[in-house]
Chains A and B, each alone.
Chain A
Amino acid sequence: MTDEIDLLRRFRDDTPGPDDAAWERARTAIAGTRASGPDGARYQSRRRWRPSRRFTVITAVTAVAAVTAAVLVGVLQGPPTLTRPLRTSWQAARPLPASGHGMQAPAGTWRLMSYLVSQGWQENTAGPEDGVLNCPTASTCYVEGDNATSSTGPADMNSLYVSADGGSTWSVLPVPAGVTFTSALSCANSADCAAGGLYYGHQPVYLVTANGGHSWTVTPLPASVGQVFQLDCTLTSCRGLGSGVGQYSNQATFSDMEADARFVTVTAGGHFTARAFPAGASVQDISCPTAAECVAVGADGKNMADPLVLFSRNGGASWHRGNVHGPFGLTAFPAVTCANATDCAMLGYVMGTGTVTEKLGGGVSETGPAQYSVVAFSADGGATWTSRTFPRAIPYPNINDLACPTADTCYAAGGDLIPQQIGKTFNAESAVVAVTRDAGRTWQRITFQVPAKVPGGMQGDSFMSIGEIQCPQPDACVALGISDQGSTSTPVYTNHGALSPLRQANRTPCRQQATQHSTFTPVYTNHGCLSPLRRTSQTRRRHRATTCVMRMTCVSRKLLLWWSHERFRLAPSAGKGRSLMLFLVNRRYPRLGAVLSVLSSVAFVALGVAEHSMFMMVSSAVFLALPLVKAARKHQAGAPQERP
């Protein structure tokens, strides 16, 4: 019986043997080898080393295993932790392209001054994420910005900008690697500043610079202080608010953190202390014009229903409750500022009994409860307060920020219910700055022109409100607009005139390196000069979640989105990696892509790993390579079939 071997032996059995040419060819080859000498052993030593298949496979497997192990170790070992202060080296600021307007305008004239150029300057869906402004002097302003490139990603204040000419031009300052700001910058002068931060997203730290942000000292904070989210500094000490929790608390649980906020002091020697506020106090903002006098505002209890104001005359050792006269309700993000030890102002909110109609454009409007901002003033260091309302010229204002350079002079910035059209964009609100020269008895609405056409990279609603205002002097203010979702810019406004030679000489050295092309952010200002009022504005930034007039609806929607983003917050760059992976995977393997994305997200969230963008990128590369390999193999296998 035959078998397959027999069959095979007959296949190509008619192949001829070697002809004369083949014999001759072989003889010639052997003769040539003989002529080169009897060098079998030498041949062995000279022969080209060729790796065996097994060696190649082992090497490849080892390499893949090593890479996989490195990635896993890098991902799973977690972020680094500081055990002692970290000092960074001096780095120059990177100037951004100038886009100044109106520097030659008369002092005191409010106008759109410039656009703060910032790459990836965007907000998240939780609300405007336009940066935190601080101007220690009339000429020097700092802005902490969110450098996240995803318009829907979580905010991480990991970029810092400086202007040495009152907001006209801006430069990017270095921020220590892995650091995100958790409080606004607080500066004793144009160069000495401090802020709270997080190191690699998990360790509360304290940041200090003595040269205007060109180098930093990053000090790990004790667990008793926790995450610092408010600071008010002089040259010798700082006071502020800390979470009292020695680990990272994301913004989703910020209200819980504030409910247990501690009064934090930092002395020149780097000693940190934390004291508790009276039981039931949920403090959200604090202003300390002197080392002894402080005023704190927040909610009475955790339900955020009733406003609470506390004052201290002994540096936070004991606190007393202040009383407010007149209509005054709790805002979502309370704010207080004191021009001196006795004169203070704080933001409040009133829910009226009537209704108000918001014109949304295109003949569409909505009607809802009338709500508006009020400002309460105190002339006795926070013990008694009188609530003041805004005039009808500022209809239903939604004030985001206060700046009081003197006892009687205060600037309020935000939006009011005056419809506005910029290009094709119809805004229900207009940006507004109001000023009082008599502690709130009368207010004057300051108007300024906005562009007739929406600048590139921005959306028209960037001009519907103002988020931050700083007035180091009564006639020198800088205000920062908002940047709504999808906008890559924020306006900067000012009211100061051209800088004097003296002011220009005070500019910090920050013009080195080449400019870069990027997107814009508008800045507004009004300059002129006095006591350096230093206050933090983390809470003011969050206050701007209430930019809609139909505020309750708006806040609910934004808070829901905010919670969803923050709750599942991963690394800042995770969004990019995840998007890329999903794009690649879903194009070729939609089911596998869905399963992988779900599994990886669940796994990394469960592990508490913050940084998994590397994993996502590696996954993306693999799934990018798969179709290529498949196509190559298909091409290779199909090539002979195509021959005639």
Chain B
Amino acid sequence: VEGKQSAGAIEASTDFDEAFRQHFAPVYRFIARRVGTALAEDLAAEAFAIAYRRREAYRPELGGLRSWLCGIAANLVRGHWRAEQQLLELDARLATAGQGPSGTWPLSDSDAADERVIATSLAPRIAQALAALNREQREVLLLHAWADLSHEEIAAALGIAQGTARSRLSRARAALRTQLGEFDFDLWTFKEQGHD
């Protein structure tokens, strides 16, 4: 279906039904990760309703169907940036609650801890870093990380130049690194946490 739709516009209702079945879940999840499940149901439904109405405007030469749908979703989420920001800051507050008396990170130093547990433990710090980014940087970063879009697809989804998308993504990654501070990507831990 992806290949067929990528070759041309969404010409029939059956094509759209197939696209819906294939892409609704990832689009919903992309939205839910950004603004929460409570809003995601409405926004995802609205995104596909918009996609149906605008299916003739889909131009496969500019990017895949997934990027087009994520672009619609991103535009919808943009209108709920306050909810997204509040959700991030709420996650970031967990950092304060989870910190130990000495202010150290309560991450387990067990080598057996799997990445998922570690990532969950790091969530407050990541949320804090994301919350500190500006909206444009966060948007391209999450389209890249959560929707798996390349910078070309991001450019098509957001209607911006590829160079702009590339530089914006680059700056966003740099900004995120800065916000994360002394994070050791090999050990998946913060150096200032004192795991020795």
Give chain A's interface residues, CB within 8 Å of chain B.
1-18, 21-23, 25-30, 32-34, 39-41, 43-44, 640-641, 643
Contact = CB atoms under 8 A, between A and B. Distances in A.
B29 A15 contact: yes
A148 B42 CA distance: 64
B171 interface: no
Given A17-B25, A40-B57, A28 B145 contact: no
Contacts of A18: 24-25, 28-29, 40-41, 44
Given A15-B37, A21-B41, A26-B44, A8 B176 contact: yes
16 contacts: A3-B185, A8-B141, A8-B146, A10-B119, A11-B127, A12-B33, A14-B120, A15-B32, A15-B37, A18-B25, A18-B29, A30-B20, A40-B55, A41-B56, A44-B57, A640-B89
Given A33-B53, A641-B89, A1 B185 contact: yes
B188 A34 contact: no
Interface string B178-196: 0010010110100000000
Contact of B186 (A1, A41, A641): A1
Contacts of B120: 14
A27 B130 CA distance: 32
Given A30-B52, A33-B52, A39-B53, A9 B146 contact: yes
A27 B33 CA distance: 21
B119 A43 contact: no
A22 B44 contact: yes
B54 A16 contact: no
A25 B37 CA distance: 13
Contact of A32 (B29, B49, B55): B49
Contacts of B48: 26, 29-30
Interface in B1-38: 13, 16, 20, 24-25, 28-29, 32-33, 37
Given A18-B41, A26-B49, 10 more contacts: A2-B188, A8-B126, A8-B142, A17-B25, A18-B24, A25-B42, A26-B45, A30-B45, A40-B53, A40-B56
- Smallest CB-CB A-B distances: 8 pairs: A10-B119, A40-B56, A29-B45, A26-B45, A29-B49, A18-B28, A8-B145, A12-B33
Given A7-B183, A22-B41, A30 B32 contact: no
Contacts of A21: 41
Given A8-B145, A26-B45, A16 B37 contact: yes
Contacts of B93: 641
A17 B29 contact: yes
Contacts of A8: 126, 130, 141-142, 145-146, 176
Contact of B46 (A16, A29, A641): A29
Contact of A25 (B25, B41, B53, B123): B41
Chief secondary structure at chain B's binding surface? helix
A12 B57 CA distance: 32
A239 B52 CA distance: 90
Interface residues of B, number: 51
A8 B42 CA distance: 25
Contacts of A6: 185
B115 interface: yes
A331 to B, nearest CB: 74
Contacts of B32: 15-16
Given A21-B41, A26-B45, A33-B53, A7 B126 contact: yes
B86 A640 contact: yes
A5 B145 contact: yes
B190 to A, nearest CB: 11
A3 to B, nearest CB: 6
Contacts of A13: 116, 119
B90 interface: yes
Contacts of B177: 4
Contacts of A14: 116, 120
Interface string B98-120: 00000000000000000110011
A428 B39 CA distance: 83
Contacts of B85: 640
Interface string B123-138: 1001100100000000
Interface in B148-196: 173, 176-177, 180, 183, 185-186, 188
Contacts of B57: 40, 44
Contacts of A1: 185-186
Contacts of B76: none
B59 interface: no
**B52, B56, B122, B142 pick with most chain A CB within 10 angstroms:** B52
Contacts of A3: 173, 185
A22 B40 contact: yes
B53 A43 contact: yes
**B49, B116, B122, B141 pick with most chain A CB within 10 angstroms:** B49
B116 to A, nearest CB: 7
A224 B98 CA distance: 88
B119 A4 contact: no
B60 to A, nearest CB: 15
